[in-house]
Amino acid sequence: MGQAATQPGINWHLKENARDHHTSKFSSKELTVRRGQPFTVTFNGIEEAEQNLTFTAETGPKPSKPAKTEVTFGISSTVSKESWSAVLQSTTSNSVSISISSPPNAIIGRYKLSVRSTARGSSSPASLGTFVLLFNPWSSGDDVFLSNKAECEEYVLEEFGIIFAGNKNHINSFGWNFGQFQEDILNICLSMLDRSLNYRQDPVTDVSHRNDPKYVGRVLSAMVNANDDHGVLLGNWSGNYDGGKSPSSWTGSVEILQGWKKSGFKPVKYGQCWVFAAVLTTVLRCLGIPTRTITNFSSAHDADGNLRVDEFYDADGNHLDRAADSIWNFHVWNESWFSRSDLGPSYSGWQVLDATPQEESEGIYQCGPASRHAIKEGDVDLDYDCPFVFAEVNADCMYWNYDPATRKKTLIFSKSTEIGQSISTKAVGRDDRVDVTNDYKYEEGSKKERDIFKKARKKLGLEDKFDPTAPTQEEIDQKPDISGKFKVAGSFEVGKDLNLILILENLQSDAKTVHVNMTAWTTVYTRKPVYEIWKDSISVTLSPKEEKQFPIKISYPEYQQQLTTDKMIQVTALCHVEGGIQVLVQRDITLDNPAVDIQVLGEAKVNKEVDVEVIFTNTIDVEVKDCVLHVQGNDLLRGILEIAVPQLKAGEKSRTKFKLTPLATGPKYLLVNFSCDKFPDIKTFKRVNVIN
């Protein structure tokens, strides 16, 4: 249903209602209010005794009283907490002001409002127009109630966010424009609900469940990905993004959601986990559910549900892409805040939702809500999808040597402390990282953490079941004769040679001969190998207790053509110890782009032009071309500004100037994405304080 025109003579008190309902940021001229809280409407031309007025509010395709999609209520003297009600505020000779309240568990969505005067019997109802009702985290009776006002500001009203990425050794971050209050986004969010599989199969039942944030969150976790339902974003993890936009090129949700609608609701190409999570953040914040993005480093994708991830390497040390399981350098999902009346009060609070299509749940690609408390306590038998989320932060890792000729696999080693590190989110009211790992699990390696892991295995029936793919205890207990690690000096930059040191140490009191096969592959952030860029092998004899260092250099020309937009490389050394077990040494490297700097040249004032300069220096020894700058920022620019930047010789600096005209006061964010043929998607942001 589109926006209906309101009747002449109706005053929706848009400004006052929006202020009271924390909806002033919406750009629409349609009344948008929150449930469980009164709003005022005044209308003219009613001459009858005002207590004879009967209102009808209806939503969905076939409104009905049993489904609570149609409600009828007259004038009463007090506000009802349990049902819709209208209280007379004031009257003049031909106008009536009414305060209308909805219950805190009302169905959210677009309503038609009509009024009928019953004084003369059956007069036909007069349409008053439409309004949109949202979840209300400021109302104590609402399932999404959040008592901390600063958190309401951040998780519902803030349009700017920071998403963390990289790997556990090297966390980086970038800004994102959620833009939940921008033009048409609310309508698009409501369209997502109306295009879901649930709505298509049974629209009446679907709409009647839209009072429940559990239901709405789960439905939208399916609709953000294109699998099953022609949802918003098509995922692509191949490293080749022809026919669409590379996932790392997006800097906001607005372009994606508006693009989905403009194309006639064809999936937008392409998304990866942080894009799915960012779009779901936009949609849930828009509808009033407090939501944030969460990044989990060394995140397990446990495809077979055994709380174990298996990785396979051949004799040369190549990481084989043959297992359904995988360990992602990072994975981004969402947490939304609401109560869990279905599970009990201790499971209320933050709930995990994941819109990235990884595994099916009840036959479609959706995930959650999984109670974060249930994950920490190992209560994996509770709704929804707790085993998958539990594995993402807790699975044990098994590293195998696999011989494709004989199909024989040999355990190299296992590790129970690898998965689920530095779980991160943006701080409330600050542009900082907050670590929430302790909210997902007890201290890694502690007895409590191991007990919870065993509890989860037991609940899933894994303790008593023979698993032919599992290693024997004898394999798990075997001890290597040598240890190895890659030492990294400083950070790695795109355009520079990569220098590492392989350190091998003999742990025994007799000499050991070791044959080492080393490889380096460019990967996507899921650690899926894409191109082999380097290989080498060495043989070495280590004296008793001796440590030796072997410098490794991978030159820029070796990796330049093959680097993915994730800028990640996996280096592996498989050490074959004569007379002993193999040792696997690996390191995931994330390369840094050169910096882009934003300067605001003067004070930023409302409705006054101000110059901005973006500065980039080509730090590499070759010319860069096809340079383009994309800039966006709510209340600073309309839409996305695209500026072509001239090619730059080695060491040359570019200064690109443009003008802004801020539309509103307060802290605003400018997001910049600079791309060229050698450096795709260098992102940065700048906080701009706009004054009167």
Beta carbons within 10 angstroms of residue 507's beta carbon? 14
Q: What is the dihedral of CA 605, 32, 184, 147, to 10 degrees?
A: 70
**In sequence order, what are the beta bridge partners of 521?**
532, 570
Out of 273, 386, 397, 676, the active site residue is 273
| HSE (side-chain half, CA atoms, 13 Å) at 153 | 7
Cα(615)–Cα(601) distance, integer angstroms: 13
Burial of 351 (0-12, 13-18, 19+ CB in 10 A): buried
Angle of the 254-262 helix axis to the 185-194 helix axis, nearest 10:
60
Nearest to 114 by CA among 32, 50, 58, 75: 58
For residue 501, the cross-strand partners are: 487, 551
Whether residue 331 lies in the annotated active site: yes
Q: If 0-12 CB within 10 Å is exposed, 13-18 middle and 19+ buried, where does residue 419 land?
A: buried
Of 143, 229, 302, 354, catalytic: 354
CA dihedral 614, 620, 622, 623 (to 10 degrees): 0
Which pairing describes strands 583-590 and 529-542: parallel, antiparallel, or unpaired? unpaired
Longest Cα–Cα distance in the chain: 106
Sole residue written with tokens 């998958």: 388
What is the length of the chain? 692
Residue 627 annotated among the catalytic residues of the structure = no
Q: For 89, how many CA atoms within 13 A lie in the half-sphere containing its CB? A: 15
Distance CA(107)–CA(209), nearest Å, equals 7
Please tell me which residue in 21, 22, 301, 331 is annotated as part of the active site: 331
- Identify the residue whose tokens are 């009536």: 96
Residue 246 near residue 681, CB atoms below 8 Å: yes
Positive/negative CA dihedral, 71, 76, 82, 84: positive
Residue 294 vs residues 209, 361, 389: alpha-carbon distances, Å? 27, 21, 12
Query: Residue 635 catalytic?
Result: no
Q: Are 632 and 640 in contact (CB under 8 A)?
A: yes
Q: Which residues contact 406 (CB under 8 A, 6 or more apart)?
A: none
Positions marked active-site: 273, 331, 354
